[in-house]
Chains A and B, each alone.
Chain A
Amino acid sequence: MKIKNNPSLIIGIIITGLILLMAIVGLFWTPYSTTQMDISLKFAPPSFAHIFGCDNFGRDIFSRVMQGAGTTFLVSLSTIAFGMVTGTIIGFLAGYSGGWLDEVIMRANDVINAFPSLLLALVFVSFLGSGLLNIILALGILFIPSFARIARSEMLRLKGMQFVQSAVLIGDSRGRIIFSQILPNAYISILSSAAVGFNNAVIAEAGLSYLGLGVQPPDASLGRMINEAGSFLMQAPWYAIFPGVAIIVLVLGVALISDGVSKID
């Protein structure tokens, strides 16, 4: 693996790493309290004391972006991890066994795919109730089909290959064939689509929070902040701009990583 010749991977890791670092620091320390209100600072524009300015309650936006990035990271990562692991297992199972099981699984996938994903997430959340865990679950389910389809097609491509027959002959068990022999050949395409999926998850979380179904106040997430900022766009544009830029940079970073991963041979 030549990381040297892979600029998108390097730049992507640096950008994403910086935001992740900011989020992790935000867990333990922020310049100001993320919840303490100060009415005298209401809609204070960016200054040296408050570099991103302040919101409608006079809270420091930079501190809230730090905390919100953490929430967004957590939600997106867990969502994708859930979707990827479940989707890969389901897809491998469908692809390896074929026949009616394949049909059943893939048609169930189609059903999930038939609905606009954000609408479906709304249904899940209103059914499960809002809150971080439920958002992760709802979005995670939505990501299963895309991973299942990729995993299945990788499985179909690989299972007919001779090294799999060779594995059968030397007495490998079915699980070993799937996870030790085939998975290492499929992980690059699965990982690179995980990076794309991560971006979709960031946007989906922002969307749900924007609709008020995600993270509940006073907790911050990047999407939630843009949601609140929407009402004050003319008075305090910086309130929407900085969380928005944070999302864009994060998505860009991960997109670069995804591009880089897909170039690894």
Chain B
Amino acid sequence: MLLKVEDLKVQYNTAEKTSYAVKGVSFEMERGEILGIVGESGSGKSTLGLTMMGLLPSHASYSGHVYFQGRDVIPMSFEELRQIKGDEISVVFQEPMTSLNPLIKVGKQVEEMLLLHLKDKDDAMTEAPDGTKLNRHHEKLSKEERKKRVLEMFEAVELPKPEETYKKYPHELSGGMQQRVMIAMALMCEPEILIADEPTTALDADIQDQILDLLKSINAKRGTSIMLVSHDLRVIRRVCHKAIVMYKGEIVERGTVEDIFEHPQDPYTKSLIAAITDEKKNSNPIEGEAALEVKDLSVYYVKKSEKLGEKPKKNVICKGMTFDVKKGEILGLVGKSGSGKSSISRAILGLHKDYTGEIIHHTDKPQMIFQDSAASLNPARKIGWILEEPLKNKKVEPAERKRLVKEMMERVELPEEFLDRYPRQLSGGQKQRVNIALALMSGSKFIIADEPVSALDVSIQEQIIELLLKLQKDLDLSMLFISHDRAVVERICDRVIHMEDWKPVS
């Protein structure tokens, strides 16, 4: 038995209230196992990982036992815990960029682990004269040897050209490579267990797969046990042997991954699985008039030259893009993050002027639903004010404005009281509903949705997608749906086009 958690409870105490993040959770983990912990944000899954690393914030209190190799880590002192951390338990976080020091070469950062922790299983602990145990192993490795080990590890995590990567700074690496560096760092001291907290959430779909495959192969080759925390069931299914489903701080389902997917028992698990296995929308190409025509569109950015007298550079995002969106159609535009999807939507909306080609609107001014539901609502204004704004611009009478706003709130299935609240008082899903309402408020029949659900939890995603589909039908909207998530696009769109087809040849 590698890890045994017994009746673990964690609560966060703030001035206003006490909230229970984990409510009496017990589970076990065998050596060499990949255990998945699934749940939405707020389910307590990340708190679980943090507790094991002793990284809970000071306002958290907890009870229960976490036995790691038979020793209870809960009552351990900071120093004892520090010995275990890195040596025996390592962690990989979601955002590699924020976990790496931007000013130090990545090779050095990984090497640091050796200086701090290296475990030489035979005689790492030498006795000092006074009988206390001292960790002296770092004296044993020469500089060259340390570097050699780092390079070996870089190879093991499949980083290309280890020698060159060693000398690079974090910002010179792609997100996927940064995450590989983080994994290398975590594995440097050959830990017994690796806690990976949403390790792929910030990455593009195909890079995600590579990192997951890497975790799997590390587990197979080195026998490292992995605890994979994720909100994404697909990730869990791809990698894990066993899984735990958490909901509101409790375990609602556990078992082997096959069992959970084949015979889910709990209604919550069922809904999660349903959300990812939903069938594709029947794609029957819609004939008819176009709502939007884009002809030979090239979007670029003008980059100011850094050197004096040099001509400004053009950074071309797409070239010769031609497509149309028919009336009543949802067209999907798929591309990786950073591929310029959003620039195209901004060009279509008239927010980005640097483009050539033709954009012809056959409807009113299009409206937009942004990815970040919080940032697109004015934090200083109440929902009611925000939703009335488009009507004020159209000089609609106050009483009529109130009526229309209430009607719209009903459409997006929000209670009327919300009109009197500030955006920060709403949850992510509710804010996105307000954004949808705002986009529809001016009566536009053409909506551009830029990753409208990718920042939301899985079950909320599902609700928002349902809502968008319902509104599209009810109001006969045309939509350009932009996303990096193929599964979502295939579910919602009538037709799909791909960014890659119009990438400039570099």
Q: Which residues 319-366 in B have Cβ within 8 Å of A in the complex?
A: 349, 351, 365
| Choice from A171, A180, A185 contacting B365 with Cβ under 8 Å | A171
Smallest CB separation, B276 vs chain A (Å): 28
| Total A residues in contact with B, Cβ cutoff 8 Å | 17
Q: Are A163 and B393 in contact (CB under 8 A)?
A: no
* Complexed CA–CA distance, A63 and B5 (Å): 76
User: A169 — which chain B residues lie within 8 A by C-beta?
Assistant: 349, 351, 365, 367-368
- Is A165 a contact of B365 with CB atoms below 8 Å? no
| A166 sits at the interface (CB 8 A) | yes
* A162 interface residue per 8 A CB criterion: yes
Which of B368, B370, B381, B438 sits near A184, CB closer than 8 Å?
B381
Bound Cα distance A17, B394 (Å) = 44
Q: Report whether B351 and A166 are in contact in the complex, using a CB–CB cutoff of 8 Å.
A: no
- Nearest B residue to A171, CB-CB: B393
Residues in A neighbouring B390, C-beta threshold 8 A: 170-171
Give Cα distance in the complex from A169 to B367, angstroms. 6
Instruction: Enumerate A149-183 residues with CB–CB distance to B below 8 Å.
Output: 161-163, 165-173, 176, 180-181
Q: Separation in Å of the B177 CB from the closest CB of chain A?
A: 29
A170 touches B378 (CB 8 A): no
A8 to B351, CA, bound (A): 44
Interface centre among B351, B367, B378 (most CB of A within 10 A): B378
Q: Determine the residue in chain B with the shortest Cβ distance to A172.
A: B393
Specify which chain A residues have a CB less than 8 angstroms from the CB of B368 in the assembled complex.
Answer: 165-166, 169
If A167-B389, A171-B442 touch, whether A162 touches B351 (CB-CB below 8 Å) is no
Q: A170 to B368, alpha carbons, bound, how many Å? A: 9
Residue B376, interface by CB 8 Å: yes
Do the beta carbons of B375 and A170 come within 8 Å of each other?
A: no
Interface residues of B: mostly helix, strand, loop or mixed? loop
Residue among B351, B378, B435, B441 making CB contact with A168, cutoff 8 Å: B351
Q: Are B370 and A162 in contact (CB under 8 A)?
A: yes
Cβ distance B377 to chain A, nearest Cβ, rounded Å: 6
Which residue of A162, A163, A170 contacts B442 across the interface (Cβ within 8 Å)? Answer: A170
Which A residues are CB-close (under 8 A) to B349?
A: 169
Pick the contact of A165 from B351, B379, B380, B393 — CB < 8 Å? Answer: B351
Cα separation A6 to B351 with both chains bound (whole Å)? 42
Q: Could you tell me the distance between the alpha carbons of A166 and B389 in the complex, rounded to whole angstroms?
A: 11
Q: Given A168-B351, A169-B368, are A185 and B378 neighbors across the interface (CB < 8 Å)?
A: yes
From A161, A172, A185, give the contact of B389 (CB < 8 A).
A172
> Do B438 and A166 touch across chains, with their CB atoms under 8 A apart?
yes
Distance A184 CA – B389 CA, assembled complex (angstroms): 15
Min distance, Cβ A126 to any Cβ of chain B, angstroms: 43
CA distance A124 to B243 in the complex (A): 76
Interface residues of B in 377-408 (CB under 8 A from A): 377-381, 389-390, 393-394
Given A162-B372, A165-B351; A170-B377 close (CB under 8 Å): no
- Chain A positions within 8 Å of B380 at CB level: 184-185
Number of cross-chain contacts by CB at 8 Å: 53
Give the shortest distance, in Å, between A16 (CB) and chain B (any CB): 25
Chain A residue contacts of B376, Cβ below 8 A: 162-163, 165-166
Measured in the bound complex, the distance between the Cα atoms of B435 and A170 in whole Å is: 12
Contact with B along A181-203 (1 / 0, CB 8 A): 10011000000000000000000
Given A185-B379, A185-B380, does the pair A166, B441 have CB atoms closer than 8 Å?
Answer: no
Interface centre among B372, B375, B394 (most CB of A within 10 A): B375
List B contacts of A180 (CB < 8 A).
Answer: 389
Contact yes or no, B372 A170, CB < 8 A: no
Rounded to whole angstroms, the CA-CA distance of A162 and B438 in the bound complex is 13
Closest to A173 in B: B393
In the complex formed, the residue of B with least CB distance to A184 is B380
CA distance A176 to B386 in the complex (A): 12
Cα A14 to Cα B393 in complex, Å, equals 42
B41 to chain A, nearest CB (A): 21
In angstroms, how far is the closest chain B Cβ from the Cβ of A86?
A: 23
Q: Which residues of B contact A173 (CB under 8 A)?
A: 393
A205 to B379, CA, bound (A): 38
A185 contact set on B, CB distance < 8 A: 378-380
Question: Which A residues are CB-close (under 8 A) to B394?
Answer: 171
Within residues 426 to 442 of chain B, which ones have a CB less than 8 A from any CB in chain A?
Answer: 435, 438, 441-442
Neighbouring B residues of A163 by C-beta, 8 Å: 375-379
Cα of A180 to Cα of B380 in the assembled complex, Å: 10
Most chain B CB within a 10 A radius of its CB, from A161, A162, A165, A167 = A162
Closest-by-CB residue of A relative to B370 is: A162
The answer for the CA separation of A172 and B393 in the assembled complex, in Å, is: 6
Residues of chain A within 8 A (CB-CB) of B441 are 170
In angstroms, Cα B367 to Cα A177, docked, is: 17
Q: Hey, which chain A residues are within 8 Å of B365, CB to CB?
A: 169, 171
The CA-CA distance from A196 to B372 in the complex, in Å, is 36
B393: which of A162, A170, A184 is its contact (CB, 8 Å)?
Answer: A170
Shortest Cβ distance from A164 into B: residue: B378
Q: Which of B351, B375, B381 contacts A161 (CB 8 A)?
A: B375
Cα(A3)–Cα(B368), bound, Å: 38
Cβ–Cβ < 8 Å partners of B381 in chain A:
181, 184
Bound Cα distance A166, B376 (Å): 6
- Cβ distance A175 to chain B, nearest Cβ, rounded Å: 12
Give Cα A200 to B438, complex, Å. Answer: 44
**In whole Å, how far is A169's beta carbon from the nearest beta carbon of chain B?**
6
Partner of A181, one of B370, B378, B435: B378
Q: How far is the CB of A94 from chain B (nearest CB, A)?
A: 20
Of chain B, the residue at the smallest CB distance from A163 is: B378
In angstroms, Cα B28 to Cα A208, docked, is 77
Across the interface, which residues of A come within 8 angstroms of B389, CB to CB? 167, 170, 172, 180
Closest chain A residue to B424, Cβ basis = A265
Q: Please indicate the chain A residues that have their CB under 8 angstroms from the CB of B377 in the complex.
A: 163, 166
Chain B residue with the shortest CB-CB distance to A181: B378
Specify which chain B residues have a CB less than 8 angstroms from the CB of A161 in the assembled complex: 375
Q: Which residues of A contact B442 (CB under 8 A)?
A: 170-171
A120–B395 alpha-carbon span in the complex (Å): 48
> Could you list some 29 contacts between A and B, CB below 8 A?
A162-B372, A162-B376, A163-B376, A163-B377, A163-B378, A163-B379, A165-B351, A165-B370, A166-B368, A166-B370, A166-B377, A166-B438, A167-B378, A169-B365, A169-B367, A170-B367, A170-B389, A170-B390, A170-B393, A170-B442, A171-B390, A171-B393, A171-B394, A181-B381, A184-B378, A184-B380, A185-B378, A185-B379, A185-B380
Q: Assuming A163-B375, A167-B378, what are 4 further A-B pairs, CB within 8 angstroms?
A: A162-B370, A163-B378, A170-B367, A181-B378
Q: Which 5 A-B pairs have the closest CB atoms?
A: A184-B380, A170-B390, A162-B376, A162-B375, A171-B393
